[in-house]
Amino acid sequence: MRDTPARPLLVILAAGDGTRMHSRRPKVLQELAGRPLLAWVLETARALDPTEIRVVISPKTQAVREVFQDADLHFVDQGEPLGTGHAVRVALARVEGNPRVLVLYGDVPLIPLDELHALLNVAGPGQLALLTAELDDPRGYGRILRDPEGNLRGIAEEADLAAPRDRAIHEINTGVLAAQARDLVTLLPRIRNDNAQHEFYLTDLVAQALDAGFQVITRLAADAGRTLGINRAGDLATAENTVRALQVARLLDQGVRIRDPARFDLRGTLEAGRDVEIDVGVILEGAVRLGDGVRIGPYSVLRDVELGAESEVFSHCVLDGVKGGERVRIGPFARIRPKTRLGPGDRIGNFVEIKNSSLGRDSKANHLSYVGDAEIGNGVNLGAGVVTVNYDGANKHRTVIEDDVMVGCDVQLVAPVTIGRGAFIGAGSTIVRDAPAGGLTLARSEQKTIPDWKRPGPKG
Ligand code: UD1
Ligand code: CA
């Protein structure tokens, strides 16, 4: 039987400059599938139920503290980042008791939780546990050095690899390490910086531990793809592919019909009912909830969207902050902006923009319209080219359209304005005052004909 170890103390390293990213943003704030790298690491960290999470930052990565203001995080300022070994030493300058410590790198976002549990389980007194991985292309990583019998000798960083045969070592250091606090505090000061980069490498701890007679236990990660470290933009793209594959596999298992796993992106969460179909090139961001039988057409982008059962989004739509009832039909080429509610059976057609508006049930805006700051009832039909004129240059005003109104084509509704129930607005009208219920309201000049008018001929 495995005993449950006490709650660990977590140290997350995020003080490095991340120069290889060529970015103004600290590396751990770079986004992977819609969330900063550090958010991924923190999610895993929190799942370990730690006593404390210490995040090591430097003066150059202060922005991290501003982005992550969660109360459970303790930021430790490393000052000048002198290497990963220095970072952990600073992080453990004060520790109460002798907890197990797990070190995670802020730029290694996808380590599975069970690997971490396994490492913590074996890190007893006088023991150091290390997560390694076998990579086809080990370039850039610290290599695990072993003697011919396979006994661990240490870790060599890429820059310090002496013999060419060491370059060919495929077992790499993932950066994840577990040990008891007291053991770490004993060993860390022994790390020196007499290496190619003049840094205090945490990886030196392994040689120090072996020297001191510690047992160093390595564990080979089951899925090497999950141990990827992010140093360059290319690594971020690789990680994005890894995340995509993981998410797609999970969604396909749940029965979501994804046409092409390579052409689908989830940068947030998706809750999907049965028989949901997602065509190619779809990007889902934030929190997306799709009811039974919902279909999303090709190349549509949905952010924070909720759609009721049997709804359909046709191709090339951009929906952001939309809550729709059942059987709504949207697009192709529609843009719906935040705070929009659509009722059951609503139909939003091509080149229609809607924002901060609510529509009742079975209402339509099928072609070329702008609907902003409007309250629209049930069974309303907005003809082609209807525009709510909601902005007077200083303030936004509301348009109210009651049930069963028919607004003809090319009508401007100058807000604030109310169109009464069942009213009919003639095409081409500019409506500046409330239109009463029931009647036909027209606001356009009379049509006239000049019978003896002569067409101008060509000049000269
Ligand atoms: C590191 C490991 C390498 C391993 C690889 C796994 C060392 C010396 N090398 O190399 O063996 O294969 O990760 O991805 O540890 N950081 C600090 N303070 C510092 C320096 C770095 O907090 O003074 C942080 C960085 O922000 C980063 C992490 O530590 O999140 C790793 O640093 P990085 O420079 O990326 O190390 P690698 O060269 O990738
Ligand atoms: Ca790295």
Tell whether ligand 1 has an atom less than 6 A from the beta carbon of residue 441.
no
Q: What ligand 1 atom has the least distance to the C-alpha of 15? A: 22
pLDDT, tens digit (0-9, with 9 covering 90-100), for 354-380: 999 999 999 999 999 999 999 999 999
What tokens does 96 get?
Answer: 């109460």
What average pLDDT score do residues 310-335 get?
98
* Other CB atoms within 10 Å distance of the CB of residue 136: 6
What average pLDDT score do residues 442-456 get?
93
Q: How far is the CA of 357 from the centre of ligand 2 (A)?
A: 46
Residue 459 pLDDT class (50, 70, 90 cuts):
confident
pLDDT, tens digit (0-9, with 9 covering 90-100), for 169-178: 999 999 999 9
Closest ligand (CA of 157) = 1
Q: How far is the CA of 85 from the centre of ligand 1 (A)?
A: 9
Q: What ligand 1 atom has the least distance to the C-alpha of 172? A: 12
Does pLDDT of 1 surpass 50?
no
Tell whether ligand 1 has an atom less than 6 A from the beta carbon of residue 193.
no
Q: What ligand 1 atom has the least distance to the C-alpha of 78? A: 18
CB 400 within 8 Å of CB 374: yes
Tell whether ligand 1 has an atom less than 6 A from the beta carbon of residue 201.
yes
Residue 432 pLDDT class (50, 70, 90 cuts):
very high
pLDDT, tens digit (0-9, with 9 covering 90-100), for 202-250: 999 999 999 999 999 999 999 999 999 999 999 999 999 999 999 999 9
Closest to 381 (Cα-Cα) out of 352, 417, 355, 356: 352
Tell whether ligand 1 has an atom less than 6 A from the beta carbon of residue 156.
no
Closest to 313 (Cα-Cα) out of 286, 339, 284, 287: 284
Tell whether ligand 1 has an atom less than 6 A from the beta carbon of residue 231.
yes
Closest ligand (CA of 138) = 1
Distance CA 432, CA 416 (A): 8
Nearest CA owner, ligand 1 atom 1: 175
Closest ligand (CA of 141) = 1
Does pLDDT of 2 surpass 60?
no
Q: What's residue 201's pLDDT?
A: 97
Least confident segment among 159-163, 183-187, 360-364: 159-163
Residue 4 pLDDT class (50, 70, 90 cuts):
low
Q: How far is the CA of 417 from the centre of ligand 1 (A)?
A: 61
Does pLDDT of 54 surpass 50?
yes
Q: What is the set of domains in the chain, with CATH numbers? A: 9-227 (3.90.550.10), 254-355 (2.160.10.10), 362-460 (2.160.10.10)
Tell whether ligand 1 has an atom less than 6 A from the beta carbon of residue 78.
yes
N- to C-terminal Cα separation, the chain: 105
Q: How far is the CA of 229 from the centre of ligand 2 (A)?
A: 5
Tell whether ligand 1 has an atom less than 6 A from the beta carbon of residue 83.
yes
Report the mean per-residue pLDDT for the chain: 96
Tell whether ligand 1 has an atom less than 6 A from the beta carbon of residue 85.
no
> Which one is predicted more confidently, 357 or 5?
357
CB 269 within 8 Å of CB 256: no
Closest ligand (CA of 227) = 1
The one-letter amino acid at 326: E
pLDDT, tens digit (0-9, with 9 covering 90-100), for 242-282: 999 999 999 999 999 999 999 999 999 999 999 999 999 99
Q: What ligand 1 atom has the least distance to the C-alpha of 28? A: 30
Tell whether ligand 1 has an atom less than 6 A from the beta carbon of residue 203.
yes
Q: What's residue 460's pLDDT?
A: 74
Does pLDDT of 290 surpass 70?
yes
Distance CA 409, CA 429 (A): 9
What average pLDDT score do residues 56-61 get?
97
Q: What ligand 1 atom has the least distance to the C-alpha of 83? A: 23
Residue 162 pLDDT class (50, 70, 90 cuts):
confident
Least confident segment among 157-166, 249-258, 380-389: 157-166
Tell whether ligand 1 has an atom less than 6 A from the beta carbon of residue 200.
no
Q: How far is the CA of 335 from the centre of ligand 1 (A)?
A: 43
Distance CA 271, CA 82 (A): 44
Nearest CA owner, ligand 1 atom 36: 84
Q: What ligand 1 atom has the least distance to the C-alpha of 108? A: 14
Does pLDDT of 5 surpass 80?
no
Q: What's residue 145's pLDDT?
A: 96
Is the C-alpha dihedral spanning 244, 249, 253, 256 positive or negative? positive
Q: What's residue 6's pLDDT?
A: 87
Q: What percent of the chain has pLDDT over 90?
A: 95
Residue 192, SS3 per DSSP? coil
CB 100 within 8 Å of CB 9: yes
Rg (CA), the chain: 31
CB 136 within 8 Å of CB 250: no
Is 74 one of the annotated active-site residues of the chain? no
What tokens does 232 get?
Answer: 């360059």
Please tell me which residue in 117, 170, 316, 367 is annotated as part of the active site: 367
What average pLDDT score do residues 43-50 get?
98
